[in-house]
Structure 1
Amino acid sequence: MVLVLGGVVLDEASIDSRNLFHAAPHLKEAAAHVASLPPKVVSPIGLLYLHQREFAVTLPQDTENVSILGTDDCSTCIVVILRHTGSGATCMAHVDGADQESGITPLISRIQEVSLGYANGRIELHLVGGYMDPRGYSERLVINLLHAFHKEPVEIDLVFACIGEMNTTIRGGLAWPIIYGVGFNVKTGEIFHATFPDKGPDMALRSARQLTGSSHLMDMYDCTLGVMRVGPYHYQPLRGVNLWLEQTDDFIVSQLSTAPEVELPHFASKIRAALKYMRDHPFPAVTVFQDNRPRYFRRDESGAWVHMRY
């Protein structure tokens, strides 16, 4: 089918962020409003935080476990949010340049799967993140994503887009992203600028997956059971890991960030934690994912994610 904007089919040949806002001034107004608000600091209680190349789907009935889907550390990445108007099922994905086209189909399939039996509804699309970076990474990602949605066999309504020029500010002569992190209230449908001091379990392990070249989007959550799952995934021992750890933070940022000029202060420490994890667990199939099983987490009585046997 097609990507729809305000009931009108988008012309696939002219899809990019500037043409999008020119064709739909209401998208520009909504993006400007969200970008103008200060970020909310989100508590870990009720939060399902998603790392780069991860996605999750949940329902409003699951708010005892997940009331907020969130992600951050988006400079050139795009956050994709899908919501089914009949069931309220919501999907969030943190998308970079890997698996940007084939990765869209599983998101839509999961939304449709958990919406079976609910009243008919439409699928709404929200896009947040990316900016007018000098290398054009974000704009290429936006174009590829819009084309990917345009090719899907279902009709997708684009209802919100804070991307490109609408997520860009100028500081010191440089273009910077306005929004690095976004939260979505699963029950109310509110989308908001957010930060997440506590990002949940196994962050070094999840960061290691990104560094080892695993490109597909990984489904992190089973909303029918209220269980979060990490892995399994595997990587080869990283040669020269100690050499990487000896480098300065500036070197790590310059070599591993797609936007080193505007990278967040904790980027290097996050990379170091992942590298140390890979050094300490060179064979994750043996030390982390025994019997090729994921690591499972559930909420305890305090609302925190705790590791469980499953």
Structure 2
Amino acid sequence: MVLVLNGVLQEECPPDTRSLYHAHPVYRETAAQLLAIPNKVIGPVGLLYVQQRELAATVPHDKNVNILGSDDVTTCLIVVVRHSGSGAVALAHLDGSGTDEAVCTMVQRVQELALGYPEGRIELQLIGGFTDPRHYSEELFYNVMTSFHKHPVEIDLTLACVGELNTTIRGGIHWPIIYGIGVNTKTGEIFPATFPDKGPDQPLRCSRFLTGVSQVLDIYDCSLGLLRIGPFNYEPLRGVDLWLEQSDEFILQHLSTSPDVEPPHFVMQIRATLKYIQDNQFPAVTVFRDNRPHYYRRDEHSGIWTPVRY
């Protein structure tokens, strides 16, 4: 009984988004406020981009990160956990894998970063998902809410822009309205956003969810200002050569949970990832030599994440 909705401690988790909005109309209002904000295109300087099946946490005084962000969300959810007293914030891009562990890690990170600061509440914000034909988004919403509800800490849901409220209909097809968001780490402000530059090691990072690595990876150490990828391994992807021979339409239809509404670069990104997997069938050997992560630090002059030995 630790999920707090509209200021009231809940005994049970809402079974779906419609029930949430029906019982607590205030969430319709806060979602509408987010939807009214124009989408921003965010460049790489000061950005820490969080890929699918990743999470990252930081604090307002982190000089390396001004914005935590993620996009390309269709049936996935962006989850933001923030401590109201310290401003410590974590963001994850969840797709249904590793949810319980990710929720625990996010809350733990935010609590650790909030130590010594004024008291505050742990606030939860959920953005993404839509009324997709296979109901993936609803299932994920319920699983994420249940994970937070099971957590021993009281958690205030302050924003839920999900499901039907994040859905528009064009040409008879349901589309997500918001595909991505940024969080201003200094103020906690959330805004719709897209990120043309998604940071380093994209094919490597995407390889994890294409090959079925279920863990949600914590990619950032804010005390050191280091973006950290890996080490991890995956099983060789059977038939990767065959996948790469297929048409764009085939890849779209078979490797997307929502083929009708993917962003235009989806297939290109999948192809790049498949090629990476083809070239690196055993990343523990070819990518993470000596079991060392890939570390990146923000370059003071360019503002871009650059590789470092650590």
Fold match (TM-score > 0.5): yes
Shift in Å, 1:144: 1.1
Supply the AA of the counterpart residue of 1:56: A
Supply the AA of the counterpart residue of 2:202: M
How is 1:178-257 mapped onto 2 (pairs within 5 angstroms)?
A: 178-257=177-256
How is 1:1-310 mapped onto 2 (pairs within 5 angstroms)?
A: 1-12=1-12, 14-62=14-62, 64-301=63-300, 302-310=302-310
Supply the AA of the counterpart residue of 1:179: I
Shift in Å, 1:116: 1.5
Distance (Å, rounded) in 2 between the aligned partners of 1:114 and 1:40 = 28
Please list every run of 5 or more consecutive structure 2 residues that lacks an aligned counterpart in the other structure: none
Provide the secondary structure at the position in 1 that maps to 2:275. Answer: helix
Distance (Å, rounded) in 1 between the aligned partners of 2:156 and 2:50 = 23
Supply the AA of the counterpart residue of 1:282: Q
Q: Decide whether aligned partners of structure 1 residues 180 and 288 sit closer, same or farther in structure 2, where only a CA change above 3 A counts.
A: same
Supply the AA of the counterpart residue of 1:12: E
Supply the AA of the counterpart residue of 2:199: G
* 1:75-115 C-alpha deviation (Å, 9 max, x unpaired): 00000000001211000000002122332111111111121
* 1:93-142 C-alpha deviation (Å, 9 max, x unpaired): 00002122332111111111121122221100000000011111000110
TM-score of the superposed pair, with normalisation by structure 2: 0.97
Q: Decide whether aligned partners of structure 1 residues 73 and 195 sit closer, same or farther in structure 2, where only a CA change above 3 A counts.
A: same
Whether the 8 Å CA contact 1:15–1:147 is kept in 2: the answer is no
Distance (Å, rounded) in 1 between the aligned partners of 2:264 and 2:305 = 26
Shift in Å, 1:37: 3.0
Distance (Å, rounded) in 1 between the aligned partners of 2:163 and 2:13 = 18
Shift in Å, 1:224: 0.3
Whether the 8 Å CA contact 2:13–2:149 is kept in 1: the answer is no
Shift in Å, 1:216: 1.2
Distance (Å, rounded) in 1 between the aligned partners of 2:120 and 2:67 = 22
Distance (Å, rounded) in 1 between the aligned partners of 2:163 and 2:12 = 18
Supply the AA of the counterpart residue of 2:75: T
Shift in Å, 1:157: 0.3
Distance (Å, rounded) in 2 between the aligned partners of 1:193 and 1:171 = 20
Supply the AA of the counterpart residue of 2:51: H
Distance (Å, rounded) in 2 between the aligned partners of 1:14 and 1:236 = 37
Shift in Å, 1:20: 1.1
Q: Decide whether aligned partners of structure 1 residues 65 and 14 sit closer, same or farther in structure 2, where only a CA change above 3 A counts.
A: closer
Whether the 8 Å CA contact 2:51–2:205 is kept in 1: the answer is yes
Q: Which moved more, 1:280-289 or 1:38-47?
A: 280-289
Supply the AA of the counterpart residue of 1:20: L
Distance (Å, rounded) in 2 between the aligned partners of 1:38 and 1:267 = 23
Supply the AA of the counterpart residue of 1:116: L
Q: Which moved more, 1:29-38 or 1:238-247?
A: 29-38
Distance (Å, rounded) in 1 between the aligned partners of 2:287 and 2:13 = 46
Distance (Å, rounded) in 2 between the aligned partners of 1:13 and 1:52 = 25
Provide the secondary structure at the position in 1 that maps to 2:61. Answer: helix
Shift in Å, 1:33: 2.3
Whether the 8 Å CA contact 1:81–1:125 is kept in 2: the answer is yes
Q: Decide whether aligned partners of structure 1 residues 249 and 89 sit closer, same or farther in structure 2, where only a CA change above 3 A counts.
A: same
Q: Which moved more, 1:13-22 or 1:112-121?
A: 13-22
Q: Which moved more, 1:110-119 or 1:74-83?
A: 110-119
Provide the secondary structure at the position in 2 that maps to 1:60. Answer: coil
State the percentage of identical aligned residues: 60
Supply the AA of the counterpart residue of 2:294: R
Q: Which moved more, 1:212-221 or 1:99-108?
A: 99-108
Provide the secondary structure at the position in 2 that maps to 1:126. Answer: strand
Shift in Å, 1:70: 0.3
Distance (Å, rounded) in 1 between the aligned partners of 2:126 and 2:51 = 16
Please list every run of 5 or more consecutive structure 1 residues that lacks an aligned counterpart in the other structure: none
